[in-house]
Structure 1
Amino acid sequence: MTDSVVHAAGGVLWRLVDGRLRILLIHRTQYRDVTLPKGKVEPGETLVETAVRELEEETGIRVELGVPLGVSRYHLPSMREKVVQYWAAKATDEAIQQSSFVPNKEIAAVEWVSPKRALSCLSYPVDVDIVRRFLRYADDGVLDTFPLVVLRHAKAVARGEWTKDDASRPLTARGERQARAVVGPLRAFGVRRIFSSDAVRCAATVAPLAAALDRKVHLMPELSQDAWELGQSDPRTVIGKRIRASLPAVLCSHGPVLPDILNEIALATGTLRNTHLGNASSLEVGAFSVVHLSATKPGAGIVAIETHATQV
């Protein structure tokens, strides 16, 4: 990130009220405008962590991120460019009830409005564009999604430097930092269940996440590189169960196995395989791809894919 660009993140918060879609807008005190909640990235944050934090700070509502809605770009009075990444974010009834929002020196009010009203009263064309992108998902009936996160293990001791069996290779110091760094971004997507190859380097990669969530790691030999090399891997069974469960989950595996995992997600959801799947499976160590699937129409195909690298 360069000093000439200000990076920020935010979202389109949504809910259903009596079956009707409503979007949350904020009325800012200083600028006397109506806009979408967003804010600047703080040191050490990823964009997804910024989005979750800013949405809660400006609206009082804790959310988990849904589909990515793209980027808005505009110039500040200082002539620096501001680049804002947005995600859709469903506001649950529980999160709304727990909101502690009160008008303050930054935000005068928050308002739930219909999509039509949102488009007419937003102060900035860039916000209108983001809402229009959001409404395409609503029009297609795939706004309510859950993520399957495909994670490549963090940096491990090199194969040539390890004298024991390959599955026991541990993480390096950098790999351990990567494993810790991925916790915040994965929590931003609401990961609930953790599945991993039984290789040490994979289990160690998701161990900090499991500790943070107080969740068990489900070790799966069928996702291991050893099984893949023997022609015995079975991502199809794993993916089928995860899609039927329709719960946010992460699957940690190895570089050679990732294309098979992504292909099985595509096959299970009737998605045409294309270059996006290839890019999503070509991950550096410690990186992950988020595959957003419809919670109500699992056969509707992959709704969106996004890829994130660790900053370590």
Structure 2
Amino acid sequence: MVDGELMVLVVHRTTHRDVSLPKGKVDPGETLPVTAVREVAEETGLAVHLGVPLGVTNYTMPNGREKVVHYWAAEVTDTQVKASRFKPNAEIAGLEWLPVDKAIGALTYDRDGEIVARLRMLAEQGVTRTFAIIALRHAKAVPAWEFSGPDADRPLTERGRGEAKRIVPTLSTYAPKRLVSSTARRCRQTIAPVAKALSLEVRLTDAIAQDAYEDGSSDVRGEIEKRLRKKRTAVLCSHGPVLPEIVREIALATGTERAATVSRSGDLPVGGFSVVHLSADQPGAGIITIESHSPQD
């Protein structure tokens, strides 16, 4: 925002001689969110974290290949803009911040304009400033039938430890500020690499633990209410049976319709997670969107 007006960054591409939104190609082993953050940094010099998804475009390139591009919103501060070390180069001739309507008119391709129009729609609804609650399922654990101790003590398998490491780059693109985990060992081990990478502490709680959920002593609603009050992006690492309840409680607390349908976003594979995007300014606006990822993405 500049003087209350939403501004959009467009890039003037050197070789293509067009005006576009920042974008690029997926490197081997990358997930789409990681690609988005890396490409924005490479093309503009801006270090961003991802907000709400803005949609997907697809088109045929001159060589006949189909190209699919995924877009996210990302908010930057004056400090971040000043910290950019961008210099015109062989790929990007220059950067330009434009009001939304002018950006739509300046973009060479209608498909890019449609993405900006979606951002304008969010602005009209007053929900461009967002945070997320990320519902994370623990990675692959030793099966209960192979483990003789208490269920809460089951550790991750070797595969699970690998999954826990692989999800770190993608989770990091959303810049979580708070990490919350079930007290179960498999959850603690899953979130540990994230905590290390982001230099964050993990708050352990039985409120979202499977044992407590099954005996009726959990407090999923209380945990969600706390996260909504804080309005800071947080990761909640929990269990298969509990995750649909976590998403359902987010929906109920924000007035989102069809809460039962939304809760299906909690049906995740081991090591998978759903990013539930919420408005920081309009508590009753409901869930803006949900995106889901797996360690195999």
State the TM-score bracket (shorter-chain normalisation).
over 0.9
| Residues 302 and 96 of structure 1: CA distance in aligned 2, closer, same or farther (over 3 Å) | same
**C-alpha contact (below 8 Å) 1:28/1:108 kept by paired residues:** yes
Residue 100 (structure 1) shift: 0.8
Matched residue, 2:193: 208
Alignment partner of 1:46 is 2:31:
yes
**C-alpha contact (below 8 Å) 2:141/2:160 kept by paired residues:** yes
1:214-237 deviation digits (Å, cap 9, x = unpaired): 111100111110001101110111
| Residues 302 and 112 of structure 1: CA distance in aligned 2, closer, same or farther (over 3 Å) | same
Matched residue, 1:161: 146
Residue 139 (structure 1) shift: 1.0
Matched residue, 1:135: 120
C-alpha distance in 1, partners of 2:241/2:260?
17
Alignment partner of 1:231 is 2:216:
yes
Residue 276 (structure 1) shift: 4.6
1:121-169 deviation digits (Å, cap 9, x = unpaired): 1001111111111211111110110011000000000111101110000
- What's the RMSD between the two structures over aligned residues? 1.0
Amino acid at match of 1:139: E
Matched residue, 2:240: 255
C-alpha distance in 2, partners of 1:278/1:299?
18
C-alpha distance in 2, partners of 1:261/1:248?
15
**C-alpha contact (below 8 Å) 2:11/2:21 kept by paired residues:** yes
User: Secondary structure at the residue paired with 1:51?
Assistant: helix
Residue 81 (structure 1) shift: 0.4
C-alpha distance in 1, partners of 2:18/2:147?
60
Amino acid at match of 1:222: A
Q: Aligned to 2:270, which of 262, 285, 289? A: 285
Amino acid at match of 2:69: V
C-alpha distance in 2, partners of 1:257/1:70?
29
| Residues 265 and 274 of structure 1: CA distance in aligned 2, closer, same or farther (over 3 Å) | closer
**C-alpha contact (below 8 Å) 1:263/1:273 kept by paired residues:** no
1:244-301 deviation digits (Å, cap 9, x = unpaired): 0000100000010111111111121111134651331110100000000101112211
Where do 1:1-20 residues align within 5 Å?
A: 16-20=1-5
TM-score normalised per structure 2: 0.98
Identity score, percent:
54
User: Secondary structure at the residue paired with 1:39?
Assistant: coil
C-alpha distance in 2, partners of 1:29/1:52?
21
Matched residue, 1:55: 40
Amino acid at match of 1:43: P
C-alpha distance in 2, partners of 1:275/1:62?
37
Residue 176 (structure 1) shift: 0.6
Matched residue, 1:8: none
What is the aligned residue count? 297
Matched residue, 1:194: 179
User: Secondary structure at the residue paired with 2:148?
Assistant: coil
Matched residue, 2:280: 295
Alignment partner of 1:91 is 2:76:
yes
More strand by share: 1
Q: Aligned to 2:168, which of 183, 190, 206? A: 183
C-alpha distance in 2, partners of 1:208/1:202?
11
* Alignment gaps of 5+ in structure 1: 1-15
Alignment partner of 1:264 is 2:231:
no
TM-score normalised per structure 1: 0.93
C-alpha distance in 2, partners of 1:92/1:283?
34
User: Secondary structure at the residue paired with 1:17?
Assistant: coil
**C-alpha contact (below 8 Å) 2:181/2:203 kept by paired residues:** yes
C-alpha distance in 2, partners of 1:75/1:169?
49
